[in-house]
Amino acid sequence: MPELPEVETIRLDLQKSLPGLHITDIKIVDQRILKTNAPLSFIKQIKHKTFDAVIRRGKMLIIPFKEGGFLLVHLKMTGQLIYGEKLTLKETKIVFCLSNGKYLNYNDQRLFGRLSFVPQLQEEPFLKMIGPEPFTDDFNHGWLSVQLKKRRIPIKTLLMDQHFIAGIGNIYASEILFDAKISPKKKSDRLSRSEINALHQATIRVLKEAIRFRGTSMRNYRDSNGEKGSFINRIKVYNKENKPCPVCSFEIKRIVQAGRSTFYCQRCQQIHAKTAKYI
């Protein structure tokens, strides 16, 4: 569930706490969380190292060390990175003991998430393939027009493709398309100029608003303080099957695309809607 806004919320908080602290000890409760490193090697490589910053790329957190190398954290579905007092839960898989007496816990109910230490970032496959960040100049109307024309898959499926654009998952893909008044079923190469414009604006608007409200907590997402995000109260269509559309009161529909639930308003997001309303 953590998508760009949730990971960015965690990043902003950890950026205030972690830099300057060093790791005094590490406890690996479940080694399946380690992606490419053997447990002993992982511990040896990062013990006594000092956090330098907290960076985000798409849904991945990148934590460089002053002494060199990087801790990569991908929360996938149920991962949590909790900073604070010692609080070990059943879901706690890795514990970092810090030089100020506090702890950084990696929790993960479903064990989908992955941590790894890498000496450098250049060869990291995920970072090599990932598309542009939605808040950078690389993501602009011209680029979007060209890229959309290359693809024929439904726009909802494309929005979730990390090769295409970084950070959008199932929740925000539905919310962005609702905001842009575009049918999730519309093929990427069939979007009109005004729809591309609406999509560009909606992507930035929805993601920024979600960060402002500290993300969306459906089930498992928590920020680095263990708190839920409040954007759930501003969600318009996701997980709202059979509920009235907040704009037109028409029933919100759920369909499955590429094996994932999509939620949309059939009236506001008609395929042939000529005019998209943007604010």
Partner DNA sequence: AGGTCGACCTGGCAGC
Partner DNA sequence: TGCTGCCAGGTCGACC
Catalytically annotated residues: 2-3, 59, 260
Measured from the CB atom, the residue of 13 and 108 that comes closer to DNA is 108
Least gap, CB of 130 to DNA (angstroms): 8
Least gap, CB of 276 to DNA (angstroms): 23
Measured from the CB atom, the residue of 230 and 239 that comes closer to DNA is 239
Coil vs helix vs strand at 180: helix
What tokens appear for 203 in the block?
Answer: 């992507």
What tokens appear for 242 in the block?
Answer: 């059979």
b/e map of 249-274 (b: 16 or more CB within 10 Å)?
eeebbeeebeeeebbbbebbbeeebe
Least gap, CB of 219 to DNA (angstroms): 7
Least gap, CB of 141 to DNA (angstroms): 21
Cα(134)–Cα(148) distance, integer angstroms: 15
Q: Helix crossing, 193-212 with 170-180: angle to 10°?
A: 130
Residue whose tokens read 């079923």: 185
Q: How far is CA 61 from the centre of its chain?
A: 10
Alpha carbon separation from 7 to 31, 181, 198, 249 (Å, rounded): 23, 26, 25, 32
Answer yes or no: are the C-beta atoms of 253 and 241 closer than 8 Å: yes
Segment holding 9, helix H or strand E? helix 4-17
Which residues sit at the interface with DNA, rule CB under 7 A? 1-3, 32, 58-60, 74, 76-77, 90, 109-112, 125-126, 129, 151-154, 157, 160, 162, 169-171, 238-239, 258-261
Measured from the CB atom, the residue of 89 and 248 that comes closer to DNA is 89
Answer yes or no: are the C-beta atoms of 106 and 114 closer than 8 Å: no
Least gap, CB of 253 to DNA (angstroms): 13
Measured from the CB atom, the residue of 109 and 194 that comes closer to DNA is 109
Least gap, CB of 114 to DNA (angstroms): 9
Cα(189)–Cα(104) distance, integer angstroms: 44
Largest CA distance in the chain: 60
Measured from the CB atom, the residue of 9 and 170 that comes closer to DNA is 170
